[in-house]
């Protein structure tokens, strides 16, 4: 299963509405309301939206899964080693990215379901 299909499966299971396939920098990506959620960086790496303060904590706590390159320093984007990360961790990252981008109504509906 490719990484975008994996993310879509996890998003559906988590109840994250409105996610669409797209392209970002000519690579497969996901968006909600036209806003970036995640994209394939390369065959092994995912770029996903992540608040900067959370990004630093995640990279320090679990460097096996999360990292950044110089290019992504200072951005709300986290790099994920897809072959190493489990579905639970990946779902948490996807949910957080979705909460950043989905909009107030969608977020409120999601939180009311939970």
- Here the CATH number for the domain that contains residue 53 is 3.90.1150.30
pTM, rounded to two decimals: 0.92
Residue 62 domain flag:
yes
pLDDT at residue 1 is higher than 80? no
Residue 58 domain flag:
yes
CA dihedral 92, 97, 103, 105 (to 10 degrees): -10
Residue 112 domain flag:
no
Residue 15 domain flag:
yes
Position 89 scores a pLDDT of 98
Residue 80 domain flag:
yes
Residue 38 domain flag:
yes
DSSP, res 102: S
Residue 33 domain flag:
yes
Residue 27 domain flag:
yes
Residue 28 to residues 16, 71, 100, Cα–Cα distance (Å): 19, 19, 20
Q: Per the structure, how many domains does the chain have?
A: 1
pLDDT at residue 114 is higher than 70? no
Count of C-beta atoms within a 10 Å radius of residue 69 = 9
> Tens of pLDDT along 54-79?
999 999 999 999 999 999 999 999 99
Share of the chain above pLDDT 90, in %: 88
Q: How far apart are CA 112 and CA 114, in angstroms?
A: 6
Domain interval for residue 37: 3-105
């Amino acid at each position: 299963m490719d990484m975008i299909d994996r993310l879509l499966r996890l998003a559906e299971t988590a109840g994250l509405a409105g996610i669409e396939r797209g392209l970002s920098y000519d690579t497969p990506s996901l968006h909600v309301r036209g806003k970036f959620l995640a994209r394939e960086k390369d065959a092994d790496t995912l770029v996903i939206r992540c608040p900067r303060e959370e990004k630093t904590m995640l990279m320090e706590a679990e460097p096996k899964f999360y990292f950044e390159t110089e290019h992504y320093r200072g951005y709300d984007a986290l790099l994920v080693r897809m072959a190493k990360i489990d579905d639970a961790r990946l779902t948490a990252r996807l949910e957080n990215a979705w909460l950043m981008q989905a909009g107030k109504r969608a977020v409120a509906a999601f939180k009311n379901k939970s």
